[in-house]
């Protein structure tokens, strides 16, 4: 039951970013995940465990 994420996909995190937005664009998938905040454009790198914890589990929103 692993969900596949693709580059360019918009995802929502459980916790909002420091800027208040919880909407991110996936920049890289694989062993590490890169996400760009859709509000402040900051990029963060997470390993897959951190990523799957951070992302909301529902497929759509």
Q: Which residues form the interface with Zn ion (CB under 5 A)?
A: 17, 19, 21, 37, 39-40
CB of 21 to Zn ion, least distance (A): 5
Question: Helices in 1-61 by DSSP H: which ranges?
Answer: 48-54
In the complex with Zn ion, the residue whose CB is nearer, 1 or 33, is: 33
In the complex with Zn ion, the residue whose CB is nearer, 3 or 40, is: 40
Phi-psi category of residue 20: left, alpha or beta, with phi > 0 → left and psi -120 to 50 → alpha:
left
Six-digit token string for 12 = 């929502």
CB of 35 to Zn ion, least distance (A): 10
């Amino acid at each position: 039951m692993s969900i596949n994420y693709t580059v360019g996909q918009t995802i929502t995190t459980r916790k909002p970013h420091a800027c208040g937005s919880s909407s991110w664009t996936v920049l890289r998938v694989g062993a590490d995940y890169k996400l760009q905040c859709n509000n402040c454009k900051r990029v963060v790198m997470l390993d897959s465990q951190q990523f799957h914890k951070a992302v909301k589990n529902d497929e759509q929103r």
